[in-house]
Amino acid sequence: MKTGIFIFTKSSRKIYLKTTLYFLFKNYNHIHKHNVYILNEDLSKEDKEEILLGIRSDCANLVSFKDIKLSIPDNIDKDKLNTILKTDITPDWHNIEYRNLSYYMLFTFWEEIANDFDYVMKLNDDAIIEEPVKEDFFNIIDNRANNILFCLMSNQCVFSSFGMYDLLKANFQNDVDKLNSFNIPVKITEENAISDFKKLHTLVFDKDYPLNEVELRQPYIPNDCFMIIRTTFMTGNKIKPYLNKIKDLKYIHYFKWSFSLVVSSLAMMLCNDKVTRCVFKVTEEKQRNAYIENGKIITKVPDSYKK
């Protein structure tokens, strides 16, 4: 069984990565010793040396770097995308790098890198494993013959994920109840939010939103800050038609469809019995800190440490 732990980072986020690596090895990987690959575009030689020096000597040889290139796909209308990005929809809406990374991890990654592995752990560079884990996650997913192993569930932004519900409903007409079980109806009532959404809809589809009231669906799905995936699930014929359709729709860039939205939604519809939740203490930065932008709370911490 060939396994790999993959973390994307950039030079400006070294401090987060070093903390993530510290706890990854302290609480898990110093026992199981899976190879760790740091995906990056801009780490200098000095950055890489600094990161390696922060890892204990008995595990430093497990970490290596893979330089990748993120770019806007050829089928994206760049003028249209630039106009969409200028629309003030949600916090961090303008992040083109996030979109390019989502596209890379959904398509290019499996063709160029992951195809050589049986299982891949995707870990965010700000995700911390906060308690010792003795069992090997890769053995768990392999023994259960699962396609996805995850820990956290999270809500997706209703604007960023617009269109996914309709795509799944059209392609899984016999499983609408299953689809509705993890897509929550949300009615948009704030006047500015309605105006922003209708503006975005017009830009993407070149036509006005047909209804006066805006009711969207909010996906509640497995979070990909920690996720282990069977490679043959992502490269197999079962998922391929849907990934091709998503590539043609261009909504990864025109909206902001995330890796988590695409992979988790498809897995829950295609092979719900092969998706497993493994509960342990792991957090992302946004779950450890609160952020305020322009006087508005973007994220806030849970009410208690137990949560």
Does 304 reside within a domain? Answer: no
Residue 114 lies in a domain: yes
Q: Running DSSP on this structure, what letter comes out for residue 126?
A: T
Q: Which of 77-81, 205-209, 260-264, 293-297 has the lowest mean pLDDT?
A: 293-297
Lowest mean pLDDT among 17-26, 67-76, 192-201: 192-201
Residue 160 lies in a domain: yes
Alpha helices in the chain (DSSP H): 14-24, 30-32, 45-53, 78-85, 96-103, 109-112, 137-143, 164-171, 176-181, 191-205, 231-235, 240-249, 251-254, 259-270, 285-288
Residue-wise pLDDT tens digits, 9-49: 999 999 999 999 999 999 999 999 999 999 999 999 999 99
CATH classification at residue 117? 3.90.550.10
Note down the domain range covering 141: 3-299
Taking 80 as the threshold, does the pLDDT of residue 289 lie above it? no
In a domain, 307, yes or no: no
3, 130, 162, 187, 255 from 212: Cα distances, Å? 50, 46, 17, 12, 21
Tell me what pLDDT residue 278 has: 95
Q: What digits encode the pLDDT tens for the residues 215-238? A: 999 999 999 999 999 999 999 999
What stretch of H or E contains 186? strand 183-188
According to the model, what pLDDT value does residue 243 have? 98
Task: Name the nearest CA neighbour of 76 among 246, 250, 200, 244.
Answer: 250
Instruction: Indicate whether 165 belongs to any domain.
Output: yes
Total domains, the chain: 1
Question: Is 33 among the domain residues?
Answer: yes
For residue 165 the two structure tokens come to: 């519900």
pLDDT in tens, 164-194: 999 999 999 999 999 999 999 999 998 888 9
Asked if residues 21 and 55 have their Cβ atoms less than 8 Å apart, the reply is: yes
Identify the CA nearest to 39 among candidates 110, 135, 95.
110
Reported as a pLDDT band with limits 50, 70 and 90, residue 2 is: very high
Segment 119-165, tens digit of pLDDT: 999 999 999 999 999 999 999 999 999 999 999 999 999 999 999 99
Residue that has been written with the tokens 């590539």 in this structure: 247
What mean pLDDT, rounded, does the chain reach? 94
pTM of the model: 0.93
In 3D space, the residue among 133, 79, 44, 13 whose CA is nearest the CA of residue 254 turns out to be: 79
Please state the rounded mean pLDDT for residues 287-302: 72
Q: In angstroms, what CA-CA distances link 200 with 151, 248, 256? A: 33, 19, 12
Residue 250 domain-assigned (yes or no)? yes
| 305 assigned to some structural domain | no
